[in-house]
Chains A and B, each alone.
Chain A
Amino acid sequence: MEKFIVTIFGIGLIAGIYWFFFGKKDKITEVHGSIMITVEGGYKPKTIKVAKDKVTTLIFLRKDTNSCLEDLIIPDFKIKKFLPMHTPVTITLSPTKPGKFNFHCGMNMFHGTIEVV
């Protein structure tokens, strides 16, 4: 009986972990001109929509001591920035082609997406 309960509980926990990490729907934030992205346990907002051929300013503000988040990398735009704690870091993009472009932390554990339309 005890083993049965542990098994059921374990299966439930696995399903819960799956739902918690993979079941969330990312809210897409449309950016007109500029946006502040808070770096705290990931990127908030995580998915942003920007216009093609327009200059967009992203201001990253790191509030998390996790050293993984100290580097911000946007590979498709060849951008790598060090984010000092509590210091806004401004990045200007002028995307010329549409698509989804990822950005992530130094060790590629936290991710965000720039959707160019």
Chain B
Amino acid sequence: MTKVSFPIVGMHCASCARLIEKKLNKTPGVATAAVNYGSEQATVNYDSSVSTLGDLGSIVSSLGYKAVIATESGKTSDDIKEEIKKKELLNLKRKVTGSAVLTILILLGSLNHMLGSLIHALPSWLSYLELPPAALLILTIPVLFWAGREFYLATWSGLKNRAASMDTLIAIGTTAAFGYSAALTLFPAQMETLGFPMTMYYDVAAVVVTLILLGRFFEAKAKSHTNDAIKKLLHLQAKTARVLRLRSSRPELAEGPPSTMGEMIEVDIPINEVVVGDHIRVRPGEKIPVDGTITEGTSSIDESMVTGESIPVDKKSGDRVIGSTINKTGSFVFRATSVGSQTMLARIVKMVAEAQSSRAPIQRLADTVSSYFVPVVLMLAVATFVGWYVFGGFAAAFTNMIAVLIIACPCAMGLATPTAIMVGTGRGAGMGVLIKDAESLEIANKIKAAVFDKTGTLTQGKPVVTDVVPPTILPIAAALEKGSEHSLADAILTKAQGMSLANVTNFKAIPGQGISGTIARKQYVFGKPKKSYPQLEEQGKTVMELSTGNTTLGYIAVADTLKPEAKEMVSTLTKNHIHVWMITGDNERTAAAIAKQAGIENILAGVLPDQKAEKIQELKVHSSSFIAKQNEKSSSVNHEPSTVNRIVAFIGDGINDAPALAAADVGIAIGTGTDVAIESAGITLLNKDLRSVVSAIKLSRATLRVIKQNLFWAFGYNIILIPVAMGILYPMFGVLLNPALAAFAMAASSISVVTNSLRLKRVKIN
């Protein structure tokens, strides 16, 4: 038995629900069916081998209602939204075209009345197009009540709730213009007796509706592109996976490579049927369907679409692969480790969507203003009418009141920040810069100090052998290190790759000293040097000596090397007035060596992992010199904490760095996808390239610039044009705003805000 719930559209009363329920209960295979009118939802228990979900949908449709069955054709809610939006856009286009044609007729038909004696300046045939008021009335009705129907519906439902929106202003403005003109048309004699001027406003009502609809059409088109980034990410997803199955049946999910599991065949299955543990084959040029670990084969993989890393990465057995990236050269088999919503791509999409829904602190003012805006404009419109009626006359009072209602544009204020955040975070995702929320994006713009963790962030994180003196000692040292678990053993074994290594007996680890063992009856010790090597140590290298008995045979130096782009990144940040710091648990000498290579002047050395967060806190409130002195342990210098908190970013690889990432104003986790790092960091960089730090900061700056321009425009527009529409310039310059022009300005203002945000897609970041 399968239980399913789906929404039903089109029910008008509780009896509709009972009707559907009855019919569903009579359907073969249905055990129970319940339809709730309140929640407009049906819940059905049915036998899927007798009836399908599609059958249930058809039953509901046959009664004249619609069942919204999302899984019916594998559609997601995004697909449904896209479909609805497409239909709406088409409908809007039809309405804009229809109302534009009618409006042109109304305008031509009103030319005589609009231009008065100026009509003689135009070709004489135009005057023949003049229409009687009754014809204008008939032409205006469809413009307002067919094309502009939504304005009235929205206004009505809002007023029932004692709420007002943009539509309220348009509906009241156009209704006033239309109502007055209709009264003049239907009762001319009575209106004239009452002393009302015989001026018609059909053209005003029609032009306002048409222009605002046109504006909405362009705005909807532009807005549909603000979320291109998520659509692009979703399209990266592969549709099928080539899974290895045992010829006879589905294999037991095993840990080992498939070659150990008997005779296998390859089966193409839809991606949503892949389960953790499946072994999947990927051929050159194909997309990797889900996340996993390579079990057989090697390849070079293009991960640029997810991490922003432009150079393909070489992968071998045991390495992790990311779903939706492209296999370039080799063929390999991997074991699925994350599927569905757990894959890296799915988590990226979720994170971007969440960031786009978050609020930037800069938006607060717009939020407050917009909650009072429309009622205040309504009050200003009434005040305008009264003022002009008292000092001007009815015609000016009426026109200016309509202009005030039409020009006010709360939409631009509402769209200013969110559209920029949407495009900005989306652009970031395309570069492998994941922004957790709008607040992080906003704060990143104000970073004054950037603290980099040393190991794995500024450096490669993998020590390499830099000196072997004499070279003949390498195979002996490597043979000894075979049994060691020391972090430097890997570096030596990698260096000795391909050499034949002798067997070691009597292997012993001597804590704090090194290791010892016997090779060909000779006892060797490898580890801490008996003498110092100042030249090597100044370069930040760790030196190990090989000795037998009392004789030193030679030494091997190992160092963690600086990432090649580190120096360029430090200099770019410095040029952008950001103080660069390095934090490390290493001693002063080693830290200074790496910092010197990177061009970093500020060092926090000897900091234990659990002290990093504390140091970040100190940096936020103290001056740099205080921290530097503290670091040198000269406590005699007494600096007071600075009164202004400065914005500090911490950049780490996310391993053991979570407290420091969280303590910083902006935590930037680099080259990682671990949950802890993503959770603690405001910004996650999916590649290990340090230049992404600069990109993230530049993206933040560009987004903030756009937000500020948008807010300046949206506020400035309303602050300047509402008084102009009220007639504030009239006493000095004789300037009044025509309501049709007001409609044009209103439509243009929302479009310009969205278009300005879309500019972020092309702004130069790298």
B-binding residues in A (CB < 8 A): 3, 6-7, 10-11, 13-14, 17-18, 20-22, 24, 36, 40-42, 44, 46, 59, 61, 64-68, 73-76, 78-80, 82, 84-88, 102, 104, 106-111
B375 close to A17 (CB less than 8 A): yes
| Distance, CA A109 to CA B370, complexed state (A) | 6
- Which residues does chain B contribute within 8 Å of A22, judged by CB atoms? 372, 375
Top 10 closest A-B pairs, CB basis? Answer: A41-B157, A80-B357, A75-B359, A10-B386, A66-B154, A107-B414, A108-B414, A21-B375, A42-B161, A41-B161
Please list 5 pairs of residues, one from A and one from B, whose beta carbons are closer than 8 Å in the complex, sorted by A's number.
A10-B383, A40-B161, A41-B160, A66-B153, A68-B154
B154 close to A24 (CB less than 8 A): no
A20 close to B162 (CB less than 8 A): yes
B356 close to A24 (CB less than 8 A): no
B353 close to A80 (CB less than 8 A): yes
B9 close to A87 (CB less than 8 A): yes
Q: Assess whether B276 is interfacial by the CB under 8 Å rule.
A: no
A41 close to B81 (CB less than 8 A): no
Which of A17, A82, A86 contacts B81, CB < 8 Å?
A: A82
A-binding residues in B (CB < 8 A): 7, 9-10, 38-41, 68, 77, 80-81, 84, 88, 150, 153-154, 156-167, 216, 220, 353-359, 366-367, 370-372, 374-375, 378-379, 382-383, 385-386, 389-390, 410-411, 413-415, 418, 437
Which of A10, A11, A17, A59 contacts B39, CB < 8 Å?
A: A59
With A10-B383, A61-B39, A66-B154 in contact, do A84 and B68 touch (Cβ < 8 Å)? yes
- Min CB distance B713 to A, Å, is 16
A109 close to B165 (CB less than 8 A): yes
B382 close to A14 (CB less than 8 A): yes
With A21-B164, A88-B40, A107-B166 in contact, do A10 and B385 touch (Cβ < 8 Å)? yes
| Distance, CA A46 to CA B161, complexed state (A) | 10
- Which residues does chain A contribute within 8 Å of B80, judged by CB atoms? 84
Which of A76, A82, A88 contacts B7, CB < 8 Å?
A: A88
B382 close to A13 (CB less than 8 A): yes
- Which residues does chain A contribute within 8 Å of B165, judged by CB atoms? 66, 68, 107, 109-110
B413 close to A84 (CB less than 8 A): no
| Distance, CA A75 to CA B395, complexed state (A) | 45
- Min CB distance B753 to A, Å, is 11
- Which residues does chain A contribute within 8 Å of B88, judged by CB atoms? 67
| Distance, CA A78 to CA B379, complexed state (A) | 35
With A14-B379, A80-B357, A110-B165 in contact, do A42 and B386 touch (Cβ < 8 Å)? no
Which of A42, A44, A86, A106 contacts B40, CB < 8 Å?
A: A86
| Distance, CA A70 to CA B477, complexed state (A) | 69
- Min CB distance A74 to B, Å, is 8
Which of A41, A46, A79, A108 contacts B357, CB < 8 Å?
A: A79
| Distance, CA A86 to CA B355, complexed state (A) | 27
Which of A80, A84, A88, A109 contacts B414, CB < 8 Å?
A: A109
- Which residues does chain A contribute within 8 Å of B371, judged by CB atoms? 111
Q: Which residue of A lies closest to B417 (CB)?
A: A108
Other A-B contacts than A6-B389, A46-B161, A59-B39, 6 sampled, CB-CB below 8 A, are A6-B386, A10-B386, A42-B163, A78-B437, A109-B166, A111-B371
With A17-B379, A73-B357 in contact, do A67 and B41 touch (Cβ < 8 Å)? no
| Distance, CA A21 to CA B378, complexed state (A) | 11
With A10-B382, A108-B366 in contact, do A18 and B375 touch (Cβ < 8 Å)? yes
B414 close to A41 (CB less than 8 A): no
| Distance, CA A20 to CA B383, complexed state (A) | 17
- Which residues does chain B contribute within 8 Å of A64, judged by CB atoms? 153-154, 157
Q: Which residue of A lies closest to B77 (CB)?
A: A82
A78 close to B382 (CB less than 8 A): no
Q: Which residue of B lies closest to A64 (CB)?
A: B157
- Min CB distance B162 to A, Å, is 5
A78 close to B355 (CB less than 8 A): yes
B367 close to A102 (CB less than 8 A): yes
Which of A7, A61, A84 contacts B84, CB < 8 Å?
A: A84
- Which residues does chain A contribute within 8 Å of B7, judged by CB atoms? 86-88
| Distance, CA A73 to CA B389, complexed state (A) | 42
- Min CB distance B744 to A, Å, is 20
| Distance, CA A111 to CA B220, complexed state (A) | 22
- Min CB distance A44 to B, Å, is 7
With A61-B40, A88-B39 in contact, do A110 and B84 touch (Cβ < 8 Å)? no
With A7-B390, A66-B157 in contact, do A108 and B358 touch (Cβ < 8 Å)? no
| Distance, CA A79 to CA B354, complexed state (A) | 6
Q: Which residue of B lies closest to A8 (CB)?
A: B386
- Which residues does chain B contribute within 8 Å of A36, judged by CB atoms? 38-39
- Which residues does chain B contribute within 8 Å of A87, judged by CB atoms? 7, 9, 40, 68
With A17-B375, A67-B88, A79-B357 in contact, do A107 and B410 touch (Cβ < 8 Å)? yes
- Which residues does chain B contribute within 8 Å of A3, judged by CB atoms? 389-390
- Min CB distance B442 to A, Å, is 13
B9 close to A86 (CB less than 8 A): yes
| Distance, CA A11 to CA B383, complexed state (A) | 8
| Distance, CA A22 to CA B379, complexed state (A) | 12
| Distance, CA A82 to CA B162, complexed state (A) | 24
| Distance, CA A2 to CA B321, complexed state (A) | 81
Which of B9, B162, B355 contacts A21, CB < 8 Å?
A: B162
- Min CB distance A39 to B, Å, is 9
B410 close to A110 (CB less than 8 A): no
| Distance, CA A76 to CA B389, complexed state (A) | 47
Which of B81, B386, B389, B411 contacts A107, CB < 8 Å?
A: B411
Q: Which residue of A lies closest to B438 (CB)?
A: A75
- Which residues does chain B contribute within 8 Å of A73, judged by CB atoms? 357, 418
- Which residues does chain A contribute within 8 Å of B354, judged by CB atoms? 78-79
With A6-B386, A21-B162, A44-B161 in contact, do A88 and B41 touch (Cβ < 8 Å)? yes
- Which residues does chain A contribute within 8 Å of B154, judged by CB atoms? 41, 64-66, 68
- Which residues does chain B contribute within 8 Å of A18, judged by CB atoms? 375, 379
| Distance, CA A41 to CA B372, complexed state (A) | 16
| Distance, CA A54 to CA B168, complexed state (A) | 38
- Min CB distance A86 to B, Å, is 4
| Distance, CA A109 to CA B415, complexed state (A) | 11
| Distance, CA A88 to CA B437, complexed state (A) | 27
Which of B357, B410, B437 contacts A109, CB < 8 Å?
A: B410
- Which residues does chain A contribute within 8 Å of B162, judged by CB atoms? 20-21, 24
- Min CB distance B683 to A, Å, is 15
- Which residues does chain A contribute within 8 Å of B163, judged by CB atoms? 21, 41-42, 110
| Distance, CA A27 to CA B423, complexed state (A) | 37
With A14-B379, A76-B359 in contact, do A107 and B157 touch (Cβ < 8 Å)? no
Interface centre among B77, B371, B410 (most CB of A within 10 A): B371
